Amino acid sequence: MENLAIDPTLSTIKHDDVFAIAMHHRFQWEEAQNTYVILFPEGMVKLHGGAGEVMKRVNGQASVGDVVTELKAAFPDATTIEADVIGMFEMAFGKGWIRKI
Amino acid sequence: MTQTSLGESVVQKEIHAQAKNNGVAANITQTQPLWMLAEVTYRCPLHCAFCYNPTDYDKHTQNELTTEQWIQALRDARKLGAIQLGISGGEPLLRDDIEDIVIEAKKLGYYSNLITSGVGLTEKRIQAFKDGGLDHIQLSMHDITEEINNFITNTKTFELKKKVAAMIKNHGYPMVLNVVIHRYNIGHMKEILEMAEALGADYIELANTQYYGWSLVNRSQLMPLKEQVEEAERITNEYRAKVGGKMKIFFVVPDYFSNRPKKCMNGWGEVFMIVTANGDVLPCHSARVLPNMQFPNVRDSGLEYAWKESPAFNKYRGTEWMKGPCVTCPEKMNDLAGCRCQAFLLTGDAESADPVCSLSPNHHLIEKAIEDSKNPVLASQPIIFRTDKNSKKYVAGDKERVEEFHALP
Ligand code: SF4
Ligand code: SF4
């Protein structure tokens, strides 16, 4: 399991960055697998739990900060949301699943 | 069928993020196919020496599934959970109903991929694929030099491939190239990568030949030297560092030169389901070489039966069936004892450890194959190209060149 909780101040992802799903990638809910997936040439990734929650808000309009705010509201009990969201953006960007607008 | 990535570069990772407190997802055992590979025809205008279609493919060219049967198979596989669809062959474009298959795939929500040599791709057809919702096209390229390309495919197709590559790009498709690597092009790694970059490739897969079907017949002639493979990998790594994220490069390491086998197909009956031209349902491309196995066929029973119930799909699931040294091996979950077909083809025993493994009592067979590939007499034997005529010979039982690999040690 990858630990995505990193210190947000060290991240290259900024709160006002806006991302969209990368070209030639598709993000969708898969009923049979009960999970969100990202599909692209040669592969796919299943996104469990929170990862899917983050990715479904990546729409070319919401900023990273918006996603953090929304998820904080949706999951008030979670304590490391900000770091987790930034971590997810960082990974998704690093892997080329999302592109910066 | 070019040797696509399907078993190797599948990114099938489970990403566990913890954006919410309860985000620790259970790691569900895969009980659904994710990948459906439709080998819609074994017919092909090319004659690649490394083709891993079965050597007796000629048996299966007269009884292909109909369009309706394919569409039904697509629906059934989707219901079982398949998301990625590969439309492959042979050369799939030899069928004129790929357009219908593409439209249905889109409707069902597949991420669809046409795997082609490019022969038969026209402006009109690619436009129809685009309109129908095909997600991407994977083009096989063989080498940068016309001589090698034409020699290894036994046809004159190099110029055509360049044109097709441009067509794919112009239609807004990602450019996915697959290059099968063997002795005759491994020395041109840098040039191949430069060509791919010049064509605007988004992905390139350098697939070292794996030895099944026709490539096993031609193994001594195709296998590169270990030093060549290492050099090729070094050049690839250098190039990858240079181009960065702009072009993704996959280098599929040839398993003969590693000391552990690959987890073949991501595990037998775990993720992949292949429906062949005549309707057989297989857990891997070459499974039909295995003895005493009855594979389900979509004409007789549905895909659900094939995946869940059929003895063939259940036979090598998990670890129960293993023998020594695998059964007690601490690494067995890493590779699930490797490839059943390779184990059988090389040792005669489908349940034994893949001989690629250095712990296998049959590992010397791999060492011998590597030695043989250095033997100038064997290496200069004429290549047996994949042709209908040669295939008919295999069907008729003229197997002398294949038998030697079946022999028990
Ligand atoms: S002959 Fe070549 S192009 Fe045709 S199916 Fe075999 S590998 Fe693919
Ligand atoms: S002995 Fe068998 S299980 Fe162990 S590493 Fe080798 S092939 Fe895999």
Nearest to B14 among A30, A46, A81 (CB): A46
Mutation choice for B interface testing from A40, A42, A89 by most B CBs within 10 A? A42
Distance CA A50, CA A88 (A): 9
Please report, rounded to a whole number, the percentage of residues in chain B having pLDDT higher than 90. Answer: 27
Answer yes or no: is A2 within a domain. Answer: no
pLDDT tier at B41 (50, 70, 90 boundaries)? very high
What CATH number is given to the structural domain containing A40?
Answer: 1.10.10.1150
Mutation choice for B interface testing from A48, A86, A89, A93 by most B CBs within 10 A? A48
Before A65, cis peptide (omega within 30)?
A: no
Distance CA B289, CA B304 (A): 23
Q: Whose CA is nearest to atom 2 of ligand 2?
A: B326
Q: Does A41 touch chain B (CB under 8 A)?
A: yes
Encode pLDDT of B289-317 as tens digits: 888 889 999 999 899 999 999 999 999 98
Encode pLDDT of B231-277 as tens digits: 888 988 999 988 877 888 888 777 777 889 888 888 889 889 999 99
Within 8 A by CB and 6+ apart from B19, the residues are: A4, A49, A50, A51, A53, A54, A71, A75, A78, A81, A84, A85, A88
Please report, rounded to a whole number, the percentage of residues in chain B having pLDDT higher than 70. Answer: 77
Does B295 or A96 have the greater pLDDT score? B295
Instruction: State how many domains chain A has.
Output: 1
Answer yes or no: is A34 within a domain. Answer: yes
Cβ atoms of B16 and A2 closer than 8 Å: yes
B95 close to ligand 1 (CB < 6 Angstrom): no
Domain around A51: 8-100
Answer yes or no: is A92 within a domain. Answer: yes
Answer yes or no: is A74 within a domain. Answer: yes
Specify the pTM. Answer: 0.80
For residue B89, give the ligand nearest its CA. Answer: 1
Q: Quick check: B74 pLDDT over 50?
A: yes
Min Cα–Cα distance to chain A from B404, Å: 35
B321 Cα: distance to centroid of ligand 2 (angstroms) = 13
Answer yes or no: is A59 within a domain. Answer: yes
- Contact list in A for residue B5 (CB cut-off 8 A) is 42
Min Cα–Cα distance to chain A from B43, Å: 24
Mutation choice for A interface testing from B4, B5, B18 by most A CBs within 10 A? B18
Half-sphere exposure in the Cβ direction for A24 (13 Å, CA) = 18
Residue closest to B89 by CA, chosen among B126, B125, B52:
B52
Q: What pLDDT, on the 0 to 100 scale, is given for residue B158?
A: 67
Encode pLDDT of B192-234 as tens digits: 888 888 878 888 888 777 776 666 777 767 778 788 888 888 9
Is the confidence metric ipTM above 0.90 for this complex?
no
Closest A-chain CA to B7: A42
DSSP B212: S
What DSSP letter does each residue of B265-323 carry, written as one string? GGSTTTSEEEE-TTSBEESSTTGGGSTT----BTTTS-HHIIIII-HHHHHTSSSTT--
Find the Cα–Cα–Cα–Cα dihedral B232, B402, B367, B377, rounded to 10°. -80
Instruction: List residues of chain B with CB under 8 Å from any CB of chain A.
Output: 5, 9-25, 28, 32, 34, 79-81, 83-84, 109, 111, 113, 135-136, 138, 173-174, 176, 202-203, 205, 245, 248, 250
Q: Quick check: A87 pLDDT over 50?
A: yes
Q: What pLDDT, on the 0 to 100 scale, is given for residue B10?
A: 31
- Contact list in B for residue A85 (CB cut-off 8 A) is 19
Q: Quick check: B37 pLDDT over 50?
A: yes
Q: Quick check: B34 pLDDT over 60?
A: yes
Answer yes or no: is A16 within a domain. Answer: yes
Answer yes or no: is A3 within a domain. Answer: no
Does B138 or B255 have the greater pLDDT score? B138
Which range among B4-8, B282-286, B403-407 shows the weakest confidence by mean pLDDT? B403-407
Min Cα–Cα distance to chain A from B300, Å: 25
Does B49 or A5 have the greater pLDDT score? B49
Nearest to A54 among B19, B245, B250 (CB): B19
Q: Quick check: B16 pLDDT over 50?
A: no
- For chain B, first and last CA: distance in Å? 30
- For residue A78 the two structure tokens come to 């979670």
Q: What pLDDT, on the 0 to 100 scale, is given for residue A11?
A: 64
Q: What pLDDT, on the 0 to 100 scale, is given for residue A33?
A: 79
Encode pLDDT of A11-67 as tens digits: 688 888 999 998 888 999 988 878 888 888 777 888 877 888 889 999 999 999 999
Given the DSSP bridges, would you call strands B111-116 and B136-141 parallel, antiparallel or unpaired? Answer: parallel
Which range among B38-42, B58-62, B167-171 shows the weakest confidence by mean pLDDT? B58-62
Q: How far is residue B372 CA from its own chain's centroid? A: 24
Answer yes or no: is A25 within a domain. Answer: yes
Q: What pLDDT, on the 0 to 100 scale, is given for residue B391?
A: 65
pLDDT tier at B279 (50, 70, 90 boundaries)? very high
